Amino acid sequence: MLLAIDTSAGTSVAIVDPSTGRIVAERSTPDTMRHAEVIGTLLAEVLEAAAVRPSALDGVVVGMGPGPFTGLRVGIAAARTFALGAGLPLLPMVSADAVARQQALSGASDTVIVVTDARRKEVFWSLYELSGSEPVRVDGPGLAKPDSLPHTGARRVDAAEIPAAQLALAAAALVEAGKPLASDDALYLRSPDVTMPSGIKRVTQ
C-alpha cells in the first residue's frame, strides 16, 4: 500500500492499494492557508481509517507541485519525514498528474490543460494528452497570467484540490511501467515572498 500527501493547493492525504486500485482511506480539505495545522491530523486519520501501521506501507508518494512556496513545503517536509522515520522510499510526483488521471478515469480522451491557483494573480498549468487511464504530460508545469495561458485549444480544467489517492495510483502506474517519476526538487517556479535583507538597517532615535 502507498501513502500519498499533497499540499500544492489544499491538503490531501490518502492510502491506496495499487494492486487493486482501491482507495483505502482519504482525507482532504480545500483550505489553502492551514496546511501545517491540518497535515498531522489528516495523516493520523487515514492511518486509523485504513487500520495500517507505517511499517505495512510500501512507499510515500508526495506532490512536488507546482504550488505556492509555504503550503507546498509543508507537505513535502511531512512526506520526507514520514518516509525517513518509517524507512520507506519517497516517490515524487508532479501534483497536476493526479487531476489529469482523474479526468482520464472519467472517460475523457482529449487534450487538457490543468490549472491551479498560484496566487499573485497567476496560475500554474500543465498540459496532458488523455488516452486510457494514464495521461501523458506533454508540456509544463509552467506559470502564467490567467489571460496568457498557452495551448488555448486544449480543454481547461481548473483544480481547487489535488486528489492524493489519484497521485498515488499514478505513481504506481509509472513505477510498474518503468517510467521516471518527478524530480525530488520542489516545483516552486518562482522565488518565495520572503527574501533576505540587503543590508543592516541603521537604528535612529
**Rounded (10°) angle between helices 96-105 and 164-176:** 90
Question: Which of 91-100, 161-170, 192-201 has the least mean pLDDT?
Answer: 192-201
Confirm whether 61 is domain-assigned. yes
- Reading the block at residue 205, the C-alpha cell is 532615535
Does residue 151 form part of some domain? yes
The answer as to whether 28 is a domain residue is: yes
pLDDT at 27 over 60: yes
Burial status of residue 109 (CB atoms within 10 A of its CB: 0-12, 13-18, 19 or more): exposed
- The residue-averaged pLDDT of 160-185 equals 95
Quick check: 16 and 73 in contact, CB under 8 A? Answer: no
In a domain, residue 204? The reply is no
- Express each pLDDT in 117-141 by its tens digit: 999 999 999 999 998 878 999 999 9
Q: Please give the residue range of the domain that contains residue 99.
A: 2-176
- Does residue 185 fall inside a structural domain? no
pLDDT digits (tens, 9 = 90+) for 40-79: 999 999 999 999 999 999 999 999 999 999 899 999 999 9
**The domain spanning residue 161 has which CATH number?**
3.30.420.40
For residue 52, give the C-alpha cell. 495500517
In the chain, the number of structural domains is 1
Q: Is residue 77 part of a domain?
A: yes
Residue 166, domain member (yes or no)? yes
Q: How far apart are CA 22 and CA 37, in angstroms?
A: 28
How many whole angstroms separate alpha carbon 91 and alpha carbon 63?
9
Within-domain flag for 97: yes
pTM as predicted: 0.90
Q: Give the model confidence (pLDDT) of 136-169 as tens digits.
A: 999 999 999 999 999 999 999 999 999 999 999 9
**C-alpha span between 92 and 180 (Å, rounded):** 10
